[in-house]
Amino acid sequence: MSNKIKKINLIHSFIFFFFANIFCFSMFKFNLIIPSILCFLLILIVGVSHGSLDHLKGIKLLKLFNIKSTYIFYITYIIISAVVVVTWILLPSITLIVFLIIASYHFGKEDTHFLINNRSYLTQLLYFFKGFLIILAPLTFHFQETISIFKLLLIDNEVFYLSLDFIEKNNIIQKGIVISFLSSVILLLKNFEKKKFLIFFDYFSILTLNLYLTPLIAFTIYFCFLHSIRHSISLAIDLDPDSVVNGFRLFVKKALPLTILTAVFSFIALYLLSYSNNLDGAILKIIFIGLASLTFPHILLEYFLEKNEK
């Protein structure tokens, strides 16, 4: 990763850290409430857009395999997304667990890999434990509310909830938080650089968000303004290494079509789900099941592209 990306992401971590603390203080001090629909819109506009250049990456991957038809990418991407949704409906508990594991690794890697040159299996494992904080933090500070979200996501497996109760009563979640912290320490110490201290700005920002905010709001702020913007910065620099501002203009222009298309499908789904759910329940289903359906093909694309570019 270039020094430019490292420098920009360092500044971004500082800004996000102060933003998260000021935002949480304001929410707590003035007892403010952010409606679910606003979280929904933020994720559609800011969050989803960071994956809206997947079609360009897909075309790049097809070229590596000497495949000329771009329709193959779009069809494959849509099929994988549809399979995830169907699998979630049929096997919600298993799909949720797999999604949480993959999402943890994805969050840990995407938020950190620009600082790390090492690609060993240990580093990949450390990415997972670092990203696992996104899952553990809401369970630590808002256990029952997080359980309510799982139930809205069609999770009705009694064994699943008994396992979570056992985990809570034996302080396993808190131990996981400690392991996540230790993974960040190891990532810091490997090929130590002062810039790597931003790992802890991100770590404490996530804890602060989940301490003061509901799970949905905390996740929205993290996903949109830390994870997605950081990924978008790297995409903007890839589009124009000489000008970040122009890179962002190009990024917005190229990301707009798929972002709009995703928003259209999301509002159609919201309309259909509103018949059998209240608005908040319908929004939660679309956000998390929808993100799962987009995350799986997104991560597979990143994996195959990275593997074949080597």
Q: What are phi and psi of 96, to 5 degrees?
A: -60, -45
Cβ atoms of residues 149 and 280 within 8 Å: no
18-27, 64-73, 79-88, range with the lowest pLDDT: 64-73
* pLDDT tens digits along 152-198: 998 888 888 889 889 989 999 999 999 999 999 998 888 777 778 88
Distance between first and last Cα of the chain? 15
CB atoms within 10 A of CB 214: 21
CB 285 within 8 A of CB 275: no
Q: What are phi and psi for residue 278, nearest 5 degrees?
A: -75, 170
What amino acid is encoded at 176 in this protein?
G
pLDDT number for residue 2:
62
Highest mean pLDDT among 182-196, 273-287, 295-309: 273-287
Residue 109's closest CA among 142, 91, 132, 87?
132
Q: Cβ neighbours of residue 227 under 8 Å, at least 6 residues apart? A: 47, 50, 107, 110, 111
The confidence score (pLDDT) of residue 197 equals: 81
Q: Quick one: which of 305, 265, 306 has its CA closest to 286? A: 265
Mean pLDDT score across all residues of the chain: 90
By the 10 Å C-beta count (0-12 exposed, 13-18 middle, 19+ buried), 87 is classed as middle
What percentage of the chain reaches a pLDDT higher than 90?
55
Cα four-point dihedral sign 230, 45, 42, 84: negative
Q: What is the mean pLDDT of residues 14-33?
A: 92
For the segment 205-245, what is each residue's pLDDT rounded down to a tens digit? Answer: 999 999 999 999 999 999 999 999 998 888 888 888 888 88
pLDDT digit string, tens, across residues 102-133: 999 999 998 998 888 777 889 999 999 999 99
Nearest to 232 by CA among 46, 35, 94: 46
**What distance lies between CA 165 and its chain's CA centroid?**
26
For residue 64, name the pLDDT band (cuts at 50, 70, 90).
confident
Q: What is the pLDDT of residue 68?
A: 82
Residue 7: per-residue pLDDT: 82
Phi-psi region of 177 (alpha: psi -120 to 50; beta: other; left: phi over 0): alpha
**Per-residue confidence (pLDDT) for residue 276, from 0 to 100:** 84
30: three-class secondary structure by DSSP: coil
Q: Is the dihedral of CA 74, 77, 81, 83 positive or negative?
A: positive
